[in-house]
Amino acid sequence: MQEAAVVSAGVGSRKPFYRHLYVQVLSAIALGILFGYFSPQLGEAMKPLGDIFIKAVKMIIAPVIFCTIVHGISSAGDIKRVGRIGVKALIYFEIMTTIALVMGLVAMNLTQPGAGMNVNVATLDAKSINAQVSNASGQMTFTSYFLHIVPNTFIGAFAQGDMLQVLFISLLFAFGLNLLGERGQPLSAMIDLVAASLFKVVDIIMRAAPIGAFGAMAFTVGKYGVASLVPMLKMLGVFYLTCALFVFVVLGTAAWLAGFSIFKFVRYIGDEILVVLSTSSSEAALPRLMAKLKTAGCPESIVGLVVPAGYSFNLDGTCINLTTMAIFLAQATNTPLGLEGQLVLLGVLLFTSKGAASVTGGSFVVLAATLASLNSIPVASMALILGVYRFISEGGAIVNAIGNGVATIVVAKWNGELDEERLRAALETRNAANG
């Protein structure tokens, strides 16, 4: 596959350490932290650097998904096989997101980081969150969620960059092209060539990752400062510990059952994790993650279907931060939330968490919609976590990226289509896919 060249370039020759992407991004993150700490105003002014990089990556995501799905499914031959892959992926997604929600719930109940804060909601400035939550309930109703999957126009999904809508259109187009049989093969081959070109574009954009990482981290530290973490340090500690346990225990078990090491896989996608860490966006790593998974022996049709679907239905990190924030706010405001209330919260989040990727503001808006619908934990209390939300979303985004990578390999293995020799070769090579 031509797109594999994007992630395998330079494997045969040693590059100076400073030319590796992970070294450049790590250095940029460190410089961004120092810059934001010593010069907060200038650090805050660096925000456009991070925003431009994220916009550049998001610009390419929709066409990459479209081309990968369409070529993978149209050349797969058996539509029933694609249906089986989809069903298996959805079963896996539901199991993992449920475990993630429960883990967040249990961790917060065991550690009680918000207990004793005794926050009076009336003293909070709720204006700071009004703009983000004003339309939350309308966006997250059952009917509106499913209506949202179908775009108003074919082009509209690409113009808005809505991943769920692009996935829907891509699947329809892929099935239509598949049904054409031999007549559709020239178009399928052309789409594959376009995909290869798009992955080259991704390679070009990723060269700017250190600049984007510097701008994003300088802004975060400059705007919120290290001091903003202190009051919430225990909650953040519990959250990150829960994320680590989920990755290395839950995902680690899934990886072990599929025949690979979670530690080696995390190392394999280390560049992408650093990009996600610095930008707080798991989507920023999506194109390169897809390319690396194909290099690691996952069929194109499975990568094209599971990864984009996972970014809508398999947001493990988002699920952890939703229950973490909800229970923390209940504890901080002395809102009584017994076992029954927490089970209701869990049930609602099982649905609303699936919409986190389709609304602006992600899990923050989803949590607002959930609290508004339950009418128990005050929505205004979300002003408490506004200052540290970015630090929470960073951890969630990293888990989302790792979780979707593991999901793709597990589904490929489950379907009997994983090239295990290529997977072993990729994971054993420290920088096999670093650009």
289 found inside a domain: yes
In a domain, 330, yes or no: yes
Condensed to tens digits (0 to 9), the pLDDT of residues 152-210 reads 888 888 887 777 788 788 888 888 888 888 888 889 889 889 988 888 888 888 888 88
pLDDT tens per residue, range 78-98: 677 778 888 898 899 999 999
pLDDT score recorded for residue 252: 95
Q: Is residue 434 part of a domain?
A: no
Q: Between 50 and 148, whose confidence is greater?
A: 50
- pLDDT-based confidence at residue 403 (cuts at 50, 70, 90): very high
In a domain, 197, yes or no: yes
Please give the angle made by the CA atoms of 173, 163 and 63, to the nearest 5 degrees: 60
pLDDT of 145 reads 59
- Report pLDDT digits (tens) over 52-67: 887 887 788 788 888 8
| Residue 193 or residue 29, greater confidence | 193
pLDDT at residue 232 above 80?
no
Q: Has residue 435 been placed in a domain?
A: no
Is residue 57 situated within a structural domain?
yes
**Cβ contacts of 65 within 8 Å, gap of 6 or more:** 163, 166, 167, 170, 304, 308
Q: Which pLDDT does position 340 carry in this prediction?
A: 84
Non-local CB neighbours of 46 within 8 Å, separated by 6+ positions: 32, 35, 36, 214, 215, 216, 218, 219, 222
Report yes or no on 433 lying in a domain. no
Specify the number of domains making up the chain.
Answer: 1
| pTM, 2 dp | 0.75
For residue 63, the domain's CATH number is: 1.10.3860.10
Instruction: Please tell me the distance from the alpha carbon of residue 58 to that of residue 320, in angstroms, as a whole number.
Output: 24
pLDDT value of position 407: 95
Domain with 184 in it? 4-428
